[in-house]
Chains A and B, each alone.
Chain A
Amino acid sequence: MTGALQRFLPLIVTTAVLVVGFLLCAAQFPNFASWRVVGNLLTDNAFLGITAVGMTFVILSGGIDLSVGAVIGFTTVLLAVLIEQGGWHPVPAFAVALIAAGGFGAAMGGVIHVFQMPPFIVTLAGMFIARGLGFVLTTDSVPINHPLYGELNDMALRFDFGLKLSLPALLMLGVVLAAVVLAHWTRFGANLYALGGNRQSAELMGVPVARTTVAVYGLSGLLAGLAGIVFSLYTGAGYSLAATGVELDTITAVVIGGTQLTGGYGYVVGTFVGVLIQGLIQTYITFDGTLSSWWTKIAIGVLLFVFILLQKGLLVVWAGRGGEPAEA
C-alpha cells in the first residue's frame, strides 16, 4: 500500500459507506435521490455537524468533551430568555451566548490542564453545570418569536439545479471548511496533532500545551454555542432539555469518521461524513415508514462496532507482521 492511500484509507472507507448507503436508499426509494433530500440532510444535521467539528478537535488533542449537548441546551435557553424575557435583539444575544459558551469551554480546558484531571470527568461536571444552569434559567420550553428568526429561517442559497442550502446548512459547511484549514494549515492544528500523538513529546518539542489545551476546549465550547444558536433557529424555541445525548452522537460521528479516540490521528472531513451517515440512517427510516425509530440506535451501534474493528485492523497492519495491537 502506498503511504497516502494508507493514511486516507479510513476516510475513503467512510466516504464509500456514505455513497453506497445513499445509492442503496436511492435504489429503494426513487424520490430519495433528489436535491431536496440532500438539502434537508444538511439542514437537519447542521447543529450536529458543527458540534462534531469541535469534538473532533478535542479528540485529536487526546481529550473528550461530554458537555457539548448541555452547552447547546443552555445556549438555546439563554437565547430564549434574553430575547423573549429580556427584550434583547437576537444579534447581541448571539454574541453573549457565543462568549459564554466559549468561555465555559476554555474554563474546563484550564481546569483540565492546571489540575491534571481526566477530561472525561471534568467535562462530565461541565455537563452537569451547563444543564443545571439551563434548568435554573427556566424549565419551560420558551418559544422565540422575534421577527429576525423568521427572516434567518427564510434565508437560503438556492441553486438552479434545485439544491437549497439553508442558513444552518451553510453555517455547517463554512465551519467544516474553516476547521479543515485550521487543522491542516495552521500552527494550532500542528500543535493539536502533536499533543494528541504524545503529550510528553509535544511538551519537549516546545508545543504550548497549556495554551493549546485551553484553546481546544474553548473552541469546542464556542462551536457548541454556535450549534445552540442553529438549534434555536431550527426549533424556534429554547429548552433546557434540548439536545440531550448529542455528545454521544458527535463522538459516534467522530469515530465513524475515522478519528482515533486516543488522539493524534484523524480528519475533520471524516467527522462530517460520519454525521451525514447518521443522518442518512435517520432519513432512510423516515422514508421507510414501517421501521421503528429504535432501529436507528441499533444500526448506529452496529456501524460504530464495524468502524472500530476496521480501525483496529488497520492498526495491526501498520504495526507490522505479528505485532501486538497497540494498547488503546
Chain B
Amino acid sequence: MTLSAPGPSRNLPQYGALIAVLLANWLLFPDFFAIRLQDGRLFGSLIDVLNRGAPVALLAIGMTMVIATRGVDLSVGAVMAISGAIAATMTGAGWSLPAVLAASLAAGLLCGLWNGLLVAVLRIQPIIATLILMVAGRGIAQLVTEGQIVTFTSPALAFIGSGSFLTVPMPVVLTIVALAVTALLVRATALGLMIEAVGVNRLSSAGAGVNTPVVLVAVYVWCGLCAAVAGLIVTADIRGADANNAGLWLELDAILAVVVGGTSLLGGRFGLVLSVVGALIIQAMNTGILLSGFKPEFNLIVKAGVLLVVLLLQSPTLTLFLPRPKGARPIGTVKPPVAPTSGGAKP
C-alpha cells in the first residue's frame, strides 16, 4: 500500500457510522436487510440504498480527487444537468446509444477541462472558478432542452438507469466500475501521491518536479466525467431530462459525502472508498428517515447534525485533546502562529 492509504483506526468512525445507521434502519424496519431476486434483478431496501446512493457516490469519487488538491468543484450538479439534457435531447432526435453516450461524456470532459484550466492555468480560486460553470451550466442545460422537460422512450438509454447486470442494478455497477478505475489510476501509479502533494503545497510540489497544471486539469476533468455519468444515470432513471432540477444541490451532497468520508477540505490525504461510504451513510439516513415515518423535512437537520459531528471529530482544536493514533497526523493541523510565508512578510 502507498503512504496515503488510511490506517484501519482512521476508517473506523466511517464504517462504524454506516453500520450504526444500517442497524438503526433495521430496528425501525425489520425487513431492511431482506433481499430478493425478481425478474433477474435484486430488490430490497439495502439494494435501494446502493442504487439511490449511486449518483452522489459517483460525484463523490470525482470530488474526492478535487478536494485532495485543496480544491472544490461546485459545478458537478450543473454538469449532471448538461449531460442529462444532451442525452435526452439526442435520444429524442433519434441518435444511437453510443453516439449519445459519447456526446454526454464529452460534454462532461469539456466542462471539467474548462474548470481545470481556470484553476491550473489562470490560477483562479477553485470555489470561484467552478462557481462560473455552476451558474452558467444550468443555463446551458436549459438552452439544450430549450427550457422543456425532454422525455424519451428509448429502452437502450433507460437501461443505464433501471437495468441490471448480473442481477446488480446498473447504477451500482457503474459506480463500482468508476471506483475501481479511479482507485487503480491513483493508487497503482504515482498520480495519487502527486494529487496529495499538490493539495498539501502546490508551490513546493511544483518545485519537486510535479507538473501541477497537468495534475490539476486531470483531476477536474475526471470530476467532470464522473458528474456526466451521474447525470446519465439520473436522466436514464426518470427517462427524461429536467434541466432545472437534475442534480440540483447534489454538489453539496457530494462535498458532504467526501467530508464525512474523512478527506480534509484543506487537501492532502484522501480516501476514495471512504467517500463512497460517506455517500452511502447519507443515503442510508435518507432511506431510514423515510422508512421510519418521520417527516422527510427532518432530513436536512439530521444531515447537518451528522456533518457537524464529523467536523467536530476532525477539528484541530478537539484533536489536540484526543489520543492520536500512531503515525497519523491530525487532519487540518493548525498553522503555526507565525507563518513564514513570503506573502505574510510583505510590508
Answer whether A and B are interacting partners: yes
A interface residues, Cβ below 8 angstroms from B: 64, 111, 114-118, 120-122, 124-129, 131-133, 135-136, 139, 198, 200-201, 203-204, 248, 251-252, 255, 261-262, 292-298, 300-302, 304-305, 308-309, 312, 325-328
Residue contact A200 to B135, C-beta cutoff 8 Å: no
| Residue from A132, A292, A302 in contact with B136 in the complex, judged by beta carbons closer than 8 Å | A302
| Residue from B128, B143, B259, B318 in contact with A255 in the complex, judged by beta carbons closer than 8 Å | B128
Interface string of B294-312 (1 = CB under 8 A from A): 0101111111100110011
Residues of B within 8 A of A304 (CB): 128, 131-132, 135-136
Cβ of A67 to closest chain B Cβ, rounded Å: 10
Residue contact B203 to A327, C-beta cutoff 8 Å: yes
Cβ of A310 to closest chain B Cβ, rounded Å: 12
Q: A132-B298, A300-B136 are in contact. Are A114 and B128 (CB under 8 A)?
A: no
Residue contact A308 to B132, C-beta cutoff 8 Å: yes
Interface string of B135-176 (1 = CB under 8 A from A): 111111011001100000000000000000000000000000
Interface string of B93-130 (1 = CB under 8 A from A): 00000000000000000000000000000111101110
Residues of B within 8 A of A122 (CB): 311
| B316 in contact (CB, < 8 A) | yes
Residues of A within 8 A of B295 (CB): 135-136
Residue contact A136 to B301, C-beta cutoff 8 Å: yes
Residues of B within 8 A of A120 (CB): 72, 127, 265
Residue contact A131 to B139, C-beta cutoff 8 Å: no
Residue contact B139 to A298, C-beta cutoff 8 Å: yes
CB-based nearest B residue for A198: B344
Cβ of B255 to closest chain A Cβ, rounded Å: 7
Residue contact A301 to B139, C-beta cutoff 8 Å: yes
25 CB contacts below 8 A, A to B, read: A116-B332, A117-B311, A118-B265, A120-B127, A121-B255, A121-B311, A125-B304, A126-B304, A128-B300, A128-B301, A132-B298, A132-B300, A200-B335, A201-B344, A204-B337, A248-B131, A294-B142, A298-B136, A298-B140, A302-B136, A304-B132, A305-B132, A312-B124, A326-B343, A327-B123
Residue contact A261 to B139, C-beta cutoff 8 Å: no
| Residue from B125, B135, B142, B315 in contact with A261 in the complex, judged by beta carbons closer than 8 Å | B125
Q: Which 8 pairs show the lowest CB-CB distances between chains A and B?
A: A301-B136, A297-B139, A132-B300, A135-B297, A132-B301, A294-B142, A128-B304, A328-B125
The binding surface of chain A is classed by DSSP as helix
Residue contact A198 to B343, C-beta cutoff 8 Å: yes
How many angstroms between the C-alpha atoms of A217 and B177 in the bound complex?
Answer: 43
| B191 in contact (CB, < 8 A) | no
How many angstroms between the C-alpha atoms of A124 and B72 in the bound complex?
Answer: 13
Residue contact B298 to A136, C-beta cutoff 8 Å: yes
CB-based nearest B residue for A201: B344
**How many pairs of A and B residues are in contact by the CB < 8 Å rule?**
146
Residues of A within 8 A of B72 (CB): 120
| B178 in contact (CB, < 8 A) | no
Residue contact A129 to B300, C-beta cutoff 8 Å: yes
Residues of A within 8 A of B317 (CB): 114-116
Residue contact A115 to B132, C-beta cutoff 8 Å: no
Residues of A within 8 A of B303 (CB): 128, 132
Residues of B within 8 A of A200 (CB): 335, 337-339, 344
Residue contact B315 to A297, C-beta cutoff 8 Å: no
Cβ of A41 to closest chain B Cβ, rounded Å: 20
Residue contact A293 to B301, C-beta cutoff 8 Å: no
Most buried by B among A129, A133, A301: A301
Cβ of B54 to closest chain A Cβ, rounded Å: 22
How many angstroms between the C-alpha atoms of A135 and B297 in the bound complex?
Answer: 5
Residue contact B131 to A115, C-beta cutoff 8 Å: no
Cβ of A196 to closest chain B Cβ, rounded Å: 13
| B272 in contact (CB, < 8 A) | no
Q: A132-B298, A198-B343 are in contact. Are A115 and B311 (CB under 8 A)?
A: yes
Residues of A within 8 A of B233 (CB): none
| B215 in contact (CB, < 8 A) | no
CB-based nearest B residue for A304: B132
Residue contact B125 to A128, C-beta cutoff 8 Å: no
Residue contact A248 to B255, C-beta cutoff 8 Å: no
Residues of A within 8 A of B1 (CB): none
